Structure 1
């Protein structure tokens, strides 16, 4: 399984490369955001299972790398690595499309645990899922309503995809935090409620035929109005 590591510090880059190789991963190490995007877009490139990206890099930050990947339709899991631990930085990175955020310094065991958790999560989500009149394509990171794209931010898409995967059943707030934001650490306490509100407004604005029901004290469930069918 091949990982893309983006780290401009030579010593840290070599440490990550050796450590991940010892865990059984094949590693492609790049030292800038532009080199990372070139590696991802290279003709005949190997398929990367995950990208671990340093945030603080000259020229192009890890936030920008993440946003470029998502805007180009890339759906591979992205783990941001950074010494910046403010809540605003973490939220900004996750909103840019990152799947998880690990603050330096970190234990290598935690890094590999988070990588494996992201890889398990990625395999568990179907590539294509239809709920009501909306089709979600995890490869393209795109939601279509009756064949027309529904504009969603990366986190709005991830939230809708999670709820659609469990359509008709309640997904707990804790599960949403773990699956979408990597846990409650350094995250604003009302982040789930905020994004449910954003997503509700977008679904309502296009008369999607879907509603997000609140199970107070438990979580949220995606429901199809009028009893329309769902499928994978």
Structure 2
């Protein structure tokens, strides 16, 4: 069985770009465009890894809310923030609330793949 990855990203082109790259590496990837859609799916089944953007459409901290909810559901689920927000405050906040890694969107696909593997 392949590892399942959830990508929560409001920009469809970015979401599909990452999803396609990860699928080519054998991962089963599901994309979600907003917090509500992702949380409905996570109530049914958790992925093996969640990759989350912080700013989701009108919710500037929607990704932080997802991280809090996922951490309450599972203490061991790997969570990676993948976001354009690169301030120390955001990075430290994301890691303190339970994310396992915090990456900015300027990361290359090979680098992202290495972090996931």
- Corresponding pairs, count: 113
Higher relative CO (Cα under 8 Å, sequence separation at least 6) belongs to 2
Greater radius of gyration (CA): 1
- Structure 2 CA distance for aligned equivalents of residues 74 and 33 of structure 1: 19
Q: Distance in 2 between matches of 1:67 and 1:85?
A: 19
Q: Which residue of 1 aligns with 2:54?
A: 55
Instruction: Provide Cα deviations, 1:76-106, integer angstroms capped at 9, x if missing partner.
Output: 1000011111111100001111000011211
User: 1:80 maps to which residue?
Assistant: 81
Q: Which 5+ residue runs of structure 1 have no aligned equivalent? A: 117-232
Aligned partners of 1:12, 1:38: CA distance in 2, in Å?
A: 22
Task: Point out 4+ residue stretches in structure 1 off by more than 6 angstroms.
Answer: none
**More deviation in 78-87 or 66-75?**
66-75
Q: Which has the higher strand share?
A: 1
Residue correspondence of structure 1 range 11-160 to structure 2 within 5 A: 11-42=13-44, 45=45, 47-57=46-56, 58-59=58-59, 61-116=62-117
Deviations 1:180-214 (A, max 9, x none): xxxxxxxxxxxxxxxxxxxxxxxxxxxxxxxxxxx
Distance 2:74 2:113 in 1: 26
SS at match of 1:48: coil
Deviation at 1:74, TM superposition (A): 4.9
In 2, Cα distance between equivalents of 1:49 and 1:76? 7
Between the aligned partners of 1:35 and 1:19, the Cα distance in structure 2 is 22
Cα deviation for residue 16 of structure 1 reads 1.0
* Equivalent position of 1:214 in the other structure: none
Q: TM-score by structure 1 length?
A: 0.46
Once residues 74 and 39 of structure 1 are traced to their aligned partners in structure 2, the CA distance between those partners, rounded to angstroms, is 18
